[in-house]
Structure 1
Amino acid sequence: MAIYNTLLYYCYSTIADAEQFAADHLKFCKSLGLTGRIIVATEGLNGTVSGTAEACKTYMDTVHADERFANIDFKIDEVDAPSFVKMHVRYKSEIVHSGLRDPNLINPQQQTGIHLDPKEFLAMKDRDDVVILDVRSNYEHSLGKFKNAVTLDIENFRDFPDMINQLAKYKDKKILTYCTGGIKCEKASALLLHEGFPEVYQLHGGIIKYGKEAGGEDFEGKCYVFDNRLSVDVNNVNPVVISTCRNCGKTTPKMINCANPECNEHFTQCDECGTQMEGCCSDACQSHPRKRVYDGTGYYVKVPQPVNVSKKNNLQPAD
């Protein structure tokens, strides 16, 4: 029986002194013995935390008692062990990096797409006048996505605004956006409305909530998550594996981070190639002097990197 919980949540709600709030919130989380990653910004909170069921309940009750966060929808997973090693609470300019920082144009507290609960999304997604839009990054939708969903060739969510023109051909359709937990859809749907898309919807609670409340029907593959589990099962109705090993092409659901910390790319790799390549995506990474020891999981605690080295796809709470 699982004795730990992992909580995924976000909230767009103004925090006046967000930087101080982040420092205080870190102390609070540590006092409960929680591990995880939380981003704090003036626009709200975005976090994944893990700990004992009792500590997680105390955390949720305390956060909900703050009127700014009273409506947070916590997605709760039972896990056998904490999903993180450390506890981080960081202040940033946005709770999910979009580059859309003008609240007069894009403000999820004022306008977003129409929220659909999982069963409403399920009932609507296969209609002829509907397009399902995945607003996540390449490494996420390559692991799993909704059947027939439109996916975008983006490395990070901040690339999403540049893709709007490519979506113009769907303006006569109802756009159903989705992401892991819902946070990216808040800004993606707001931007689509701003750009003249007349009917925009979003899956409330994202893929995670859809799996819990609608059985994950027609979600193909696994769902990438931003903790040391790396991926979770969603579909218990008609599951299928769609991802393939980068190295040999064999079907595999396993997502890892490259063992070379200066690459750290998220990619799918079968166990056989993982052993042979020592958890690396290429021969160059396998021979890199800073290569980390591969333990079969493909998850690594962040380590400092040299100045001016690109931190490609580092694990961060984002959805």
Structure 2
Amino acid sequence: MGQYQTLLYYCYSTIANGEQFAADHLKFCKSLNLVGRIIVADEGLNGTVSGTPQACKAYMDAIHADERFAKTEFKIDDVSEPSFVKMHCRYKSEIVHSGLRDPNIINPNKQTGKHLEPKEFLAMKDRDDVVILDVRSDYEHSLGRFKNAVTLDIENFRDFPAKINELAKYKDKKILTYCTGGIKCEKASALLLHEGFSDVYQLHGGIIKYGKEAGGEDFEGKCYVFDNRLSVDVNTVNPSVVSTCRNCGTVTDKMINCANPECNEHFTQCAICGEQLEGCCSTTCQTHPRKRVYDGTGYYVKVPQPVNVKKVQLA
């Protein structure tokens, strides 16, 4: 066991008075000295938190003690240091932004694709009658993805519904959806079923659980994560690197955020270009007056914007 742990989890379960729950939950997390990011919505919880093993156990015990979240599954990583700097717990309209908020159409508690455990997914993924579908954003699957997976050119998950027509040619196939931890697949698979896809599955626990239970076999590259690690290794069977530096094309698996906070684009960049461009995606961003100091990691803590100060635009 490491000095710290990072927990990744979600749970679709109705929360009454979600705004108050979020405020109370933030206080609870801070009382355990946890850091992380939790989204609370009327439909449930979506979080990544980090702290000592004792604090993480206390948090998991508290979540499981609440009958609304008793079935929550935690993906646990041992880490050398906390994966966040601060603790945030915010109320939003959805726990993963999809724009699919009509419970009569999309309700993960009523209908989703069939859940496949990692070893079931491994056994099924290479069949001729199967299509593996990545439902993550382009910057995520550019860093790593399953071998032969269908990927979509989307900046955010909310763009997924508009891509359904592009997938119509696969309606006679078994569709195996996957994402980082499973949360996006709950809604993506539900939408596919609603749109007439008859044989839809989802990787239970996502890429992270697949790495732990199936060795990450045939997942090429690294998995993007939403904390200050930015990416993690998942494949211990046949690892490879599939991403390249945005600036020079060199093979690299280093993912960063642009040092210009008004850009903040997620992209892969080699160490040499990182030094030359100071962690920026372009020379335009490199000369921006608000450019952050690049320390080699490409991860930045969000800083609140000054009140009543006009936003500087990119040249």
TM class by shorter-chain length? over 0.9
1:85 aligns with 2:85: yes
Separation (CA, whole Å) in 1 of partners of 2:206 and 2:181: 4
CA pair 241-196 structure 1, distance change in 2 beyond 3 A: same
Helix, strand or coil at the partner of 1:142: helix
* Superimposed CA distance per residue, residues 151-186 of structure 1 (whole angstroms, 9 cap, x where no aligned partner): 000000000000000000000000000000000000
Helix, strand or coil at the partner of 2:272: helix
The alpha-carbon deviation at position 106 of structure 1 amounts to 0.3
1:156 aligns with 2:156: yes
1:135-214 → structure 2 map (5 Å cutoff): 135-214=135-214
1:241 aligned residue: 241
Which structure has the higher relative contact order (CA within 8 Å, separation 6+)?
1
1:125 and 1:132 in contact (8 A); partners too: yes
2:95 aligned residue: 95
Separation (CA, whole Å) in 1 of partners of 2:138 and 2:302: 21
Separation (CA, whole Å) in 1 of partners of 2:155 and 2:88: 24
* Superimposed CA distance per residue, residues 6-33 of structure 1 (whole angstroms, 9 cap, x where no aligned partner): 0000000000111110000000000000
1:261 and 1:303 in contact (8 A); partners too: no
Separation (CA, whole Å) in 2 of partners of 1:296 and 1:21: 37
Helix, strand or coil at the partner of 2:8: strand
* Superimposed CA distance per residue, residues 203-258 of structure 1 (whole angstroms, 9 cap, x where no aligned partner): 00000000000000000000000000000000000000000000110000000000
1:22 aligns with 2:1: no
1:1-319 → structure 2 map (5 Å cutoff): 2-305=2-305
1:317 aligned residue: none
The alpha-carbon deviation at position 304 of structure 1 amounts to 3.2
CA pair 307-138 structure 1, distance change in 2 beyond 3 A: farther
Letter of the aligned partner of 2:87 in structure 1?
M
Separation (CA, whole Å) in 2 of partners of 1:222 and 1:309: 34
Letter of the aligned partner of 1:173 in structure 2?
K
Separation (CA, whole Å) in 2 of partners of 1:6 and 1:88: 15
1:243 and 1:251 in contact (8 A); partners too: yes
Separation (CA, whole Å) in 2 of partners of 1:21 and 1:113: 29
* Superimposed CA distance per residue, residues 66-97 of structure 1 (whole angstroms, 9 cap, x where no aligned partner): 01000001000000000000000000000000
* Superimposed CA distance per residue, residues 96-129 of structure 1 (whole angstroms, 9 cap, x where no aligned partner): 0000110000000100000000000000000000
* Superimposed CA distance per residue, residues 39-60 of structure 1 (whole angstroms, 9 cap, x where no aligned partner): 0000000000000000000000
The alpha-carbon deviation at position 309 of structure 1 amounts to 8.3
Separation (CA, whole Å) in 2 of partners of 1:123 and 1:278: 44
Separation (CA, whole Å) in 2 of partners of 1:36 and 1:118: 26
**How many corresponding residue pairs?**
310
In the TM superposition, structure 1's runs of 4+ consecutive aligned residues that sit over 4 Å from their partners are: 305-310
Separation (CA, whole Å) in 2 of partners of 1:95 and 1:6: 19
Separation (CA, whole Å) in 1 of partners of 2:56 and 2:312: 36
- Percent identical: 84
The runs of 5 or more residues in structure 2 that have no matched partner are none
The runs of 5 or more residues in structure 1 that have no matched partner are 311-319
